[in-house]
Amino acid sequence: MPTIKLENLTKRFDDVIALDNINLEIHAREFFVLLGQTGAGKTTMLRCIAGLDKPEEGFIYFDNQRVNELTPPERDVAFVFQSHILYPHLTVYENMAFPLHPRGLPTDEIDRRVKDIASMLHIEHLLQRKPSQLSGGETQRVGLGRAMVRRPQLFLMDEPISNLDARLRTEMRAEIKWRQRQLEATTLYVTHDQIEAMSMADRVAVLEAGHIQQIGTPMEIYDHPTNLFVAGFIGSPSMNLIPCQAAISGEKIDIKLIGKFQITVKNQQIASTLVEFGGNRDLVFGVHPEDVLISPEDTPDSMPVEVYSFEPLGAETIVELTPGKDESGRDVILKARTEPTLDVRIGQPLRMTFMPERIHFFHSDTGEAIC
């Protein structure tokens, strides 16, 4: 299975730059996820790698071989699309065997491959059915199976499970990841769903407007977002972000969040980083919902808040809190992830504080992470 390397890759559509000088390396046998909103350039990158679109600039390498001039068949990739289009007049068996016939494989080899993959995907009982007799999840499995029987050197998957309901998506996430491990196949997977990215990827590239914002493992990106875009995109719910002002007096750093309320930075590493950055300036304060601590009791350094709304989700409750209004008169809302046993009601007064070692700060002008 190859290592995929993109070098200064640029793709334009008229005056729109879909990919802007992309440099990326995907390791052999890696499950790599491209994560971004609609229009970020994810599908365009897949199409360029597959040979369906030709970049204006830059190079694509499979291992050390440049493939820019190779046709899609010569690149030997399997492209799994968002909508699996099966031939309606063929059985599941015939649909899965279809891409093997042009390769001139013996009948017994085709039969063995189809049945092996069908068994792997638990669809062997469907082989004689027509596509019209399949459920959505079964259709997804057949579409994946048709790609897998080819044994390509690279799998490209473009939001292959986004059309399924929530339960089936959860099942298929685990299924795809498990099968990728079995096949040891280099896989590039596109999604706009950060839960898919976090749960499936070995590494993630976050794209925005044709640029890669950050590359790393899911937890690296979650714990150390490189800028405000990534911080606001990763996580469910995503990180709370609040404009603030930092005031440095000697070794003491106070952060004014809203109104008259301020917190003191207690973590020495964060404090040192802020001192090096320079004090008395506007910043953006960030904290993940699970690092927001709430209590009915007054605790040291806590601030008064009111329950704005809440979402009981079974295993947890997401509580929306407001400490007051910003300078424009709008309610400031922060989300906290709490135990499901916490009893809250709208309008209830509570106290809120933060895990001192888990707070983040970003440059208010550039959006880049400070710490």
pLDDT tens figures, 4-23: 999 999 999 999 999 999 99
| CB burial readout 290-324, b (16+ within 10 A) else e | ebbebeeeeeeebbebbbbebeeeeeebbbbbbbe
Q: Is the Cβ–Cβ distance between 8 and 20 less than 8 Å?
A: no
CATH fold of the domain at 240-363: OB fold (Dihydrolipoamide Acetyltransferase, E2P) (2.40.50)
The reported pLDDT for the residue numbered 119 is 86
For the chain, give the percent of residues with pLDDT over 70.
98
Q: What is the mean pLDDT of residues 236-242?
A: 93
The reported pLDDT for the residue numbered 330 is 85
Cα–Cα distance, 66 to 72 (Å, whole number): 13
Q: Return the closest-CA partner of residue 359 out of 288, 254, 275.
A: 288
Domains of the chain: which residue ranges? 4-227, 240-363
DSSP 144: H
Q: Provide the residue type at 153 as one letter.
A: Q
pTM more than 0.85: yes
Preceding amide of 300 cis, omega within 30? no
Cα–Cα distance, 81 to 96 (Å, whole number): 15
Cα–Cα distance, 164 to 66 (Å, whole number): 36
* CATH number assigned to the domain with residue range 4-227, chosen from the 4 options 3.40.50.300, 3.30.70.1380, 3.40.640.10, 3.40.1440.60: 3.40.50.300
